[in-house]
Amino acid sequence: MENLSSALPVAGNSTAASATAASADLSQHPAWLRLKVAVEALRPLQLKDGSIDLNSHGASTKDQADAQLSVITASIGELAPLFPHDKAYLDAVVLDLMRWAASGYAVPDFLDSLLAFQPAEQRVDGLPHLVVFPMYTQNGNPNRNIEAVLLNVVWPDWLAELERTRYDNPMFVPITFVDFTAGYDTNSAVLFPETVAVREVPERFTWGGIFCDREAARFRAVSTSAVRTLGLEIPEDAAALLTDQELAQQTFVLWDLVHDRTHSHGDLPFDPFMIKQRSPFWMYGLEELRCDLTAFKAAVQLEAEGYEQGRNVQYAILFDRMFRFPVSGGRVRNYDGLGGQLLFAYLHKHDALRWTDNKLHIDWQRAPQVTNDLCGEIEKLYRDGIDRPKTAHWLAAYELVAQYLTPHPASTWAKGADALPFKEHSDAKSLNKALCDAVLPDEFPLSMFFEALSKKLSGVIASTSGMTGTSVVENAA
């Protein structure tokens, strides 16, 4: 078996340098700069659904919109020859923009151009794309504004080989930022087709993009600060991971590859996470954690086979899950935060980590097995869930979480089935709604440890908004 580290590209080599130079040229191209300015000028005119009320900004609103749209379409036309592989898409997006204007700037419909954009069919390392859509940006801008982003695909040979032979995921497209409009000057690290404004949802989506450079840079900044704040002693290879952006990006593309495919693999209950129905937020937290822990388990196996990158994925999952997730975002149904809290508590209660003398200590030999044990408990929950009704499955999941995390003192769910509104609702739909309504916004509050850590890391976490792989990671104390 070839050692994965021997196949990794070396930062600063001629290929990496040429790709960086090409990206820099694109980000400074006059047509791109005009496109960005026009998109930002159009943004204040748009409503939440992406439409423009032509009566809301005075008689000149249509003229303003027409002028900016003309710049956008002309800029796309000028840039298009630089993206010959995207000709069908760029032609289609110009037509969709023109149709939007012809509709009087009604709710935009970019289904035709969305279907023409198929980045998963051309996963080539370093391949650039120009993407323009009316879209919201997950964990960023909730409105369907026109956004524009320049990006590069990350698809090195070693990753392609693992995807082909072991972790099949034909929809997965790892990407890095070159430049972007304001909707991505946020915490958003994904480009998903379901965020685009369309007249009807396609039968299936065929791709999903994840910005590994933003994930890696954010991980390095927050983890470096957490390690110092907690006085945590870490192995040399973990320290190297925190100082090397290229190595961190390679780590995240492997983590994301396995995580992303896991949403449709395993002993899933009939009503899996991916079906958009309302559930108590710990169900989403357990699903996301299951996918991460499946990636962790795969990384342990890869390390045992001689893949150095497997060890780095383990560090990334532990650090990001335990240090950033619990203290990022609000406390209203924060399911990613819950998953991080659960991982930390599980490791603590099984003596794989200790908080002693105001320092965190991790048993680096024991932590992988204990983490895999938690994965096993969640997998058993799922396997048993196939034979349970939905409400019983929700209760079983709650009991698993509550075994390691203390519920809110005022929790109704913590009192058990007798306290929940089963008798008041005879039909499943109203019962499900009532059970979800009984969940507190912060059903599992932060422990005293995480409350203190949150205050210590708040500054560095805030600083990561808009961060990319070219951002400077400051040495936060």
Given a cut of 70, whether residue 104 has pLDDT beyond it is: yes
**Span 48-58, average pLDDT:** 88
Compute the residue count for the chain: 477
Copy the structure tokens of residue 476: 């936060």
Which residues lie closer than 8 Å to 429 by C-beta, 6 or more apart? Answer: none
- The helix/strand/coil state of 172 is strand
In the beta sheet, which residues pair with residue 356? Answer: 359
**Span 337-359, average pLDDT:** 97
Contact 468, 313 (CB under 8 A): no
For the chain, give the percent of residues with pLDDT over 70. 92
What confidence score (pLDDT) does residue 4 get? 32
In terms of Cα–Cα distance, which of 201, 190, 195, 193 is closest to 259? 190
Task: Using pLDDT thresholds of 50, 70 and 90, give the confidence band for residue 23.
Answer: low
Task: Using pLDDT thresholds of 50, 70 and 90, give the confidence band for residue 22.
Answer: low
* pLDDT tens-digit readout, 235-244: 999 999 999 9
d(CA 174, CA 152): 9
Given a cut of 50, whether residue 399 has pLDDT beyond it is: yes
What confidence score (pLDDT) does residue 8 get? 34
**Span 241-265, average pLDDT:** 96
What confidence score (pLDDT) does residue 276 get? 64
Given a cut of 70, whether residue 275 has pLDDT beyond it is: no
Given a cut of 60, whether residue 21 has pLDDT beyond it is: no
d(CA 132, CA 129): 10
Specify the range with the lowest mean pLDDT, choosing from 76-90, 209-223, 273-287.
Answer: 273-287
- Mean pLDDT of all residues belonging to the chain: 92
What confidence score (pLDDT) does residue 270 get? 67
**Span 365-393, average pLDDT:** 96
**Span 92-114, average pLDDT:** 98
* pLDDT tens-digit readout, 124-140: 999 999 999 999 999 99
- The helix/strand/coil state of 211 is strand
What confidence score (pLDDT) does residue 1 get? 28
Output the DSSP codes for 232-286: ----HHHHHHHH-HHHHHHHHHHHHHHHHHHTTSSS--SS-TTS-----HHHHHH
Q: Which residue has the higher pLDDT, 348 or 21?
A: 348
- Phi–psi pair at 425, nearest 5 degrees: -135, 120
Output the DSSP codes for 378-434: HHHHHHHHTTS-HHHHHHHHHHHHHTTSPPPTT-SGGG-GGGSSSTT--SHHHHHHH
Task: Using pLDDT thresholds of 50, 70 and 90, give the confidence band for residue 24.
Answer: low
What confidence score (pLDDT) does residue 3 get? 34
Q: Which residue has the higher pLDDT, 210 or 263?
A: 210
Task: Using pLDDT thresholds of 50, 70 and 90, give the confidence band for residue 426.
Answer: confident
What confidence score (pLDDT) does residue 307 get? 85
What confidence score (pLDDT) does residue 268 get? 87
The DSSP element (H or E) to which 114 belongs, if any, is helix 111-116
Measure CA of the first residue to CA of the last residue in the chain; give whole Å: 41
In terms of Cα–Cα distance, which of 295, 316, 322 is closest to 241? 316
